[in-house]
């Protein structure tokens, strides 16, 4: 079996025997992932981290990240992720009177939790459920149990999961310099900076003196030139990292800007 993804509503079991790049990822909902085996490489604004077997990883909604699932030599990558959608969070907040009270200090898209025996045991108990048809009420209870254990491990995360506000208006130039590598549409970029699409385009052109699409391609190609020339990276390693969908499109655009093929640098 090369790969398998099995889903219960809001709970996902993944198994990959070959490396799997998930691609550009606009995180729609908060989630908690337990890595059973293999490694998970996560790239977000300005950093790349690798998590391994036994790690508990919390990821935050309304962030950009790239996920690469990497199997070990003798075993597949395996993980279980519990997704906390708005309905389950609202229900939990009302039932247990847990509310957001102040902004969460850290701005990372992905956080590693300290090892916790109760959470690890909880994930092990989920494995048999993927072979059964579960009633909706039981699935809801399991997601609430995961949320309760998460907040027991890190109580401050209540100010992440129960913050139901939309992203506020932020510094557009700083955001774009941190996130230009992600190949997501302009509507999502506008949303993440707290702007309508029209305001995003207007503010962007005031700051960068060109359209968003033109600036993004130019900035990615400049970064590619730097990585190939100064860091000795191969074009085949760079193009996907910088949001290009194919090596041919990347090579054509690179030559158009710099006058030479990337392989000639």
- Cβ–Cβ < 8 Å for 193, 175: yes
193-227 per-position pLDDT tens digit? 999 999 999 999 999 999 999 999 999 999 999 99
DSSP H helices, 32-168, are: 86-96, 117-126, 136-153, 158-161
41-72 per-position pLDDT tens digit? 999 877 899 999 999 999 999 999 999 999 99
- Cβ–Cβ < 8 Å for 211, 205: yes
Q: What are the chain's domains?
A: 3-161 (2.60.120.810), 172-264 (1.10.10.60)
Nearest Cα neighbor of 10 from 125, 88, 62 is 88
For 1-27, give one letter per residue: b (16+ CB within 10 A) or e: eeeeeeebebbbbbbbeeebeeebbbb
Q: Taking all residues of the chain, what is their mean pLDDT, rounded to a whole number?
A: 92
Averaged pLDDT for residues 90-114: 93
Please report the pLDDT score of residue 87 as a whole number. 95
Angle made by CA atoms 218, 220, 221, in degrees to the nearest 5: 65
């Amino acid at each position: 079996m090369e790969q398998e993804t099995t889903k219960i509503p809001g709970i996902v079991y993944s198994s990959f025997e070959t490396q799997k790049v998930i691609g550009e990822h606009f995180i729609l909902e908060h989630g908690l992932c337990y890595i059973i085996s293999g490694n998970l490489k996560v790239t977000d604004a300005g950093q790349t981290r690798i998590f391994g077997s036994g790690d508990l990883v919390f990821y935050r909604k309304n962030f950009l990240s790239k996920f690469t699932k990497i199997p070990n030599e003798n075993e597949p990558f395996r993980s279980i992720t519990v997704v906390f959608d708005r309905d389950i969070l609202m229900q939990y907040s009302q039932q247990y009177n847990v509310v957001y009270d102040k902004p969460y200090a850290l701005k990372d898209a992905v956080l590693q939790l300290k090892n916790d025996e109760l959470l690890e045991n909880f994930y092990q108990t989920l494995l048999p459920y993927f072979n059964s048809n579960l009633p909706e009420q039981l699935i809801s209870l399991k997601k609430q149990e995961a949320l309760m254990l998460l907040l027991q491990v890190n109580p401050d995360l209540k100010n992440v999961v129960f913050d139901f506000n939309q992203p506020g208006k932020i510094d557009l130039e700083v955001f774009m310099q941190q996130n230009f590598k992600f190949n997501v549409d302009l509507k999502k970029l506008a949303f993440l900076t707290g702007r309508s699409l029209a305001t995003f385009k207007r503010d962007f052109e005031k700051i960068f003196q060109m359209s968003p699409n033109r600036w993004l391609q130019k900035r990615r190609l400049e970064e590619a030139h730097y990585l190939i020339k100064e860091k000795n990276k191969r074009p085949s390693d760079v193009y996907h990292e910088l949001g290009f969908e194919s090596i041919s499109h990347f090579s054509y655009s690179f030559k158009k800007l710099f006058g030479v093929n990337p392989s000639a640098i």
